[in-house]
């Protein structure tokens, strides 16, 4: 079997890129949220606090990190053993990429790439050998 047809390469690459963007956006959001929570603590003591904004942003960032990591793990699992698990991991990638829009979706393009990668993984069909192997000679 040709190695190129042995795994859903496009689905894997798009899922990796989408998961990485979701993860990076989650890290940035978590950093900004914690800055609002702790960096402005002096402002809060004097009545200029941000209220629940910092906590909300930190929580959304944490969700983005979790969702991005799951999408990346799903892409890895499809690449390591595509034939028995491409459908189930494709569904997981699709769901967590869609849920990543709660936390910004990896600048939105990450969520879209993850959704496309998940759909491609679900619809991928393993190549079948149509002609018998050629005998030498």
Q: CA-CA distance, 88 to 115, in Å (whole number)?
A: 14
Angle between helices 9-34 and 82-99 (to 10 degrees): 30
The rounded percent of the chain whose pLDDT value lies above 70 is: 80
Reported as type and span, the H/E element at residue 42 is: helix 41-45
Residue 91 pLDDT > 60? yes
The band of 135, judged by pLDDT with boundaries at 50, 70 and 90, is: low
pLDDT tens for 48-66 read 556 678 888 999 999 999 9
Contacts of 38 (CB under 8 A, 6+ apart): 54
pLDDT on residue 27? 97
Please say whether the beta carbons of 62 and 76 come within 8 A: no
Q: CA-CA distance, 7 to 78, in Å (whole number)?
A: 8
* Average of per-residue pLDDT values in the chain: 86
pLDDT on residue 131? 58
pLDDT on residue 54? 80
pLDDT tens for 13-31 read 999 999 999 999 999 999 9
The band of 123, judged by pLDDT with boundaries at 50, 70 and 90, is: very high
């Amino acid at each position: 079997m040709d190695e190129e047809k042995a795994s859903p390469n496009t689905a894997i690459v798009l899922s990796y890129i989408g998961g990485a963007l979701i993860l990076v956006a989650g890290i940035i959001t978590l950093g900004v949220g914690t800055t609002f929570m702790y960096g402005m603590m002096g402002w809060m003591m004097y009545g200029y606090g941000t209220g629940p904004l910092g906590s909300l942003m930190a929580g959304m960032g944490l969700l983005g990190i979790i969702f991005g990591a799951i999408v990346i793990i799903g892409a890895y699992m499809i690449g390591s053993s595509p034939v028995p698990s491409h459908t189930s991991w494709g569904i997981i990638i699709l769901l967590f990429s869609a849920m990543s829009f709660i936390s910004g979706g990896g600048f939105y393009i990450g969520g879209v790439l993850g959704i496309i990668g998940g759909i491609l993984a679900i619809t991928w069909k393993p190549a079948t050998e149509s002609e018998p192997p050629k005998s030498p000679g």
